[in-house]
Amino acid sequence: MELANKATRIRLFDFKSVQMRAFHMSWLAFHLCFFGWFGIAPLMAVVREDLNLDKSMVGSTIIASVAITVLVRLLIGPLCDKFGPRKTYSTLLILGSMPVMCIGFADSFESFLIARLCIGAIGASFVITQYHTAVMFAPNIVGTANATTAGWGNLGGGTTQIVMPLVFAAIVSLGVSEAVGWRLAMVVPGIMLFLLGLAYLKFTQDAPDGNYSDLRAAGKIPPADRENGGMASFKKAASDYRVWALFVVYAGCFGVELTINNVAAIYFFDNFDVNLETAGLIAGLFGLMNIFARTMGGFFSDLSARYMGLTGRVRFLFLAMFIEGIALVAFSQMEVLATAIATMIVFSLFVQMSEGATFGIVPFMNKKALGGVNGIVGAGGNAGAVLAGFLFMSESLSYGQGLMFLGCAVMVCSFFAFFVRFSPEVLAEEKAAFDTASSGDDPIKARGGNEPEPA
């Protein structure tokens, strides 16, 4: 849907305008979701001992943590079209906090597996983050805005690896056992998610000019009927083969990042003779690259569009992702800790740039089915993580070998970017819109940042 008054600039220190409030609240929400989603990953060495899990069982829990997210991401995008990102995000955060806090009751492989499966639903928060940013920012900056909110959200994958072992250590230092410590540690992100869900409802609104319910009542956007929103959005998106090409592409970048978030700490712990805290710190470096790497992907996507239009966005996506695959293969072959860390950082840079470049294209695929497109492409990331998870279940396949095969798969996936094509009419239309946004006034500046408080 077309919406007015989108921001043409990112003003990081603006917390009053509705566009920038949505920007900051969406990345913060996605960031904290990682604490619930992957908070247990850096503690798996302790959980493995406590619940007597073998490698196959650990692999199954890794798959469970991302499998359910495929389905929820497919559903959550159309829900954004129907109910708006504000209510959808708030509901997901509040409901998602429950299994995070309840994972501590797990006392067997089966109950732990079910808990990780339920927690995986909060991974759908990514789709809402990208949706909310896309409706708030103009074509000249939407790639950078999408990439930054997603990148700073994904940064939670790194801070989680660092912070959760420290939370666990602090709890154990109070005199409780390790078996109790990891359970209590997971209560912390659960409470944070619940409180943020309430804050999201209060401090954001759906679009620059108001909430969807009010805009529909005023006739400014189409009603949420059989022709618009809900499953209609999903069907429109699903009928476009280009959307499924980006589904595969995102499987090869975000799917890989999710996999690394799950296995990095235990990989360094088992292969480089470091303790749990050090392994978590090293693994955290991978996620911490999101503070700028994904933004770089969106920035170069926008820059490519300035000179080559939408075709430039596609070409840059292929290049970033192909290099990602090469870097992952190199990382899998490292046997010295220092070189392993160095190649992991290079790999991290390009996997996150690829993600940013992917969602530099998504807002232009089908504006009448934005939620459906976001949902399907976002689900691709988790589908990729599910498939990658099987590489780490076999006792006969080492983690290094699994990472090498994964790198080769990424290089193959990169070529799917070339299936994303646009008609000459769309290319000309979007080029004109880009130029207009680049030379036009910023509505935030024009209004002085004094938009009304959200309902």
All structural domains of the chain with their residue ranges: 18-440
Q: What is the pLDDT of residue 443?
A: 59
Q: What is the pLDDT of residue 227?
A: 61
Residue 288 Cα distances to 166, 257, 282, 379, angstroms: 16, 12, 10, 23
Q: What is the pLDDT of residue 263?
A: 82
pTM for the full predicted model: 0.80
Q: What is the pLDDT of residue 399?
A: 83
Q: What is the pLDDT of residue 445?
A: 58
In terms of Cα–Cα distance, which of 348, 256, 359 is closest to 300? 359
| Rg (the chain; Cα; Å) | 21
Q: How far apart are CA 267 and CA 270, in angstroms?
A: 5
Q: What is the pLDDT of residue 418?
A: 95
Residue 40 Cα distances to 46, 238, 323, angstroms: 10, 34, 30
How many residues are given for the chain? Answer: 455
- Successive 10-residue mean pLDDT values, the chain, 455 residues: 79 93 96 91 89 88 85 89 94 96 93 93 92 92 90 84 90 94 95 97 94 89 68 84 95 90 82 82 84 91 90 95 96 91 94 93 85 90 86 79 93 96 88 80 54 43
What fold characterizes domain 18-440?
Answer: Growth Hormone; Chain: A; (1.20.1250)
The answer for 14, left when phi > 0, alpha when psi is -120 to 50, beta otherwise, is: beta
In terms of Cα–Cα distance, which of 13, 22, 319 is closest to 142? 22
